[in-house]
Amino acid sequence: MSFIDFITGPFDSRGDDADDGDDEQWRLTMDKFGLSTDFQDRIMHPTFTDIRLTQSCAYWCKDTVEMRYGALRSIQQSSLDRQRLLEDLRGHGYSSPSSSQQCQAVGHAPFIGPLISVAHSEKEQQPASTSQAPVSIFGHAPSINDIATNGIDGYTILFKSIDESRTQIFLDAQGCIQDIGVLLSSTPSDFSSDRALFYFTPDFETAHYYAGYAKIRGGENTNVLIICVAIPNEAIQSLTGDALQYLYWPNEDWKEYVWCNRARKTMPLELRRFRRATLLIGSTAKKTSQAWGQLAGSSSVTENYVLKINGEPAVQYVFDGSDQGQDFLMESIVPRPYMYQFTKSDYWFRDKGSTNLDQ
């Protein structure tokens, strides 16, 4: 058993958990887990209540511990990389580089734009191929806001937030996607009870919202990224029949499909066609899986079970996570994504609710 599995093991026990909107019960549950007041305050940040209530207390506690542990491992690895760099330079008679040069050399300088990833494994530290990396279509975009506002002609732009420690094998040394599997979701989710899927949003503000919650929970040492990918419109348009489907609130099919998935109920035959979709575009749900499971049926689903951003239902692009679905993504997606690092300047929620946290 790994160390991280050992320290997160208690969160996997469903005996102590909270899945509803009772804040006091969430606090009591985290007290039982032995978590500090600061840790609890970050999870309970009032600005992110809608996101928090999409998963259980144990889920967010485990996710937060994993993020913080990943950040510490990254810091440790960066220190080792800097030490190796200094020793190598000294061995060749060079003077010690400045701290900024060291950071750039090990790939941890702040970045905004198409990222050239510097991985840490011995294999990936071998000299990169001399072949030229694919040109990024994002290369001339002045900012992530420009991409989000104006888009790129001929492409569908999608976003996803994730903490950096979970992306170590996502890109190769040229900044191209090599393992998209790291973006797979956990189950149950809105559109699947038992299969991992790829969830993206076409709305930058939605990704920004999720990134904010990850950053507030992870703390200063956790780097949070917003991954921006582009898919040619013609690739999406090439999907025919059940391969491309739409499912929006308040359609009755949306209510029943999400209810069956989140509550792990038997899916009616007439709705199983959605499971055959390579791409399913639809509304995003909120509330925990337990809350969905406590409903008498899909007829009890109300607007309170729909995630809204600026008063409008959030939309998600959900890709099949099977080998076939991953093949479609890897063949269609532009190889080099735009990687945006969430920084302190992104704390747009400072003036909302209680924000007496050291960010």
Q: Is 200 domain-assigned? A: yes
**Does 80 lie in the same domain as 212?**
no
Considering the domain boundaries, does residue 280 fall inside one?
yes
C-alpha 140, offset from chain centre: 25
Asked, for residue 203, whether it belongs to a domain, the answer is yes
User: Do the beta carbons of residue 67 and residue 214 sit within 8 Å?
Assistant: yes
Q: Are residues 232 and 338 in the same domain?
A: yes
Q: 53, 74, 109: which is the final residue of a domain?
A: 109
The string of pLDDT tens digits covering residues 131-160 is: 566 667 887 677 888 999 999 999 999 999
The residues pairing with 309 across neighbouring beta strands, listed in sequence order, are: 312
Residue 352 belongs to a domain: no
The reported pTM is 0.83
Same-domain pairing of 50 and 144: no
Pick from 329, 121, 311, 126: which is nearest to 227 by CA? 329
214 in a structural domain: yes
Q: Are residues 261 and 317 in the same domain?
A: yes
| Number of Cα atoms under 13 Å in the Cβ half of residue 177 | 23
Q: Does residue 126 belong to any structural domain of this protein?
A: no
- Statement to judge: residues 65 and 140 lie in one domain: no
**Would residue 127 count as lying in a domain?**
no
Among the three residues 109, 140, 172, which one is the final residue of a domain in this structure? 109
Residue type, 170: F
- CA dist list (Å): 237 to 138, 156, 202, 243, 277: 22, 11, 16, 10, 13
Same domain for 137 and 27, yes or no, is: no
Are the beta carbons of 207 and 307 closer than 8 angstroms? no
Please give the structure tokens belonging to residue 40.
């609890």
- Judge if 216 and 321 occupy the same domain: yes
pLDDT at 96: 55
Low-confidence ranges of the chain (pLDDT < 70): 4-6, 9-10, 13-16, 77-78, 81, 92-135, 140, 344, 347-359
Distances (CA, A) of 70 to 163, 165, 224: 9, 5, 11
Q: Answer whether 18's CB lies under 8 Å from 40's CB.
A: no
Q: Which amino acid is at 150?
A: N
User: Do residues 159 and 289 both lie within one domain?
Assistant: yes
For residues 301 and 292, what is the distance between their CA atoms, to the nearest angstrom?
Answer: 8
Do residues 183 and 162 touch, judged by C-beta distance below 8 A? yes
pLDDT of amino acid 349? 55
Its domain, for residue 81, covers 3-109
Q: Same domain, yes or no, for 232 and 144?
A: yes
Q: In the prediction, which pLDDT does 82 show?
A: 73
Question: 226 φ, ψ to 5°?
Answer: -115, 115
Q: How many helices (H) and strands (E) does the chain have?
A: 12, 10
**Domain identity same for 93 and 117:** no
Is 355 within the bounds of a domain?
Answer: no
List, in sequence order, every beta strand (DSSP E) within 38-127: 112-114
CA–CA separation, 354 and 359 (whole Å): 13
Peptide bond before residue 127 is cis, with ω within 30 degrees of 0: no
Where is 309: in which H helix or E strand? Answer: strand 308-309
pLDDT at 14: 59
Tokens of 302: 């109300």
Does 71 share its domain with 163? Answer: no
Clarify whether residues 177 and 29 are in a common domain: no
b/e map 186-216, b = 16+ CB within 10 Å: ebbbbbbbebbbbbbbbbbebbbbbbbbbbb
Number of domains in the chain: 2
Tokens of 109: 């300088």
Closest of 85, 208, 227, 210 to residue 170, by C-alpha: 227
Give the pLDDT of residue 138: 85
Strands lying side by side in the sheet with 198-200: 198-200, 315-319, 279-283, 244-247
Identify whether the C-beta of residue 228 lies closer than 8 Å to the C-beta of residue 333.
no
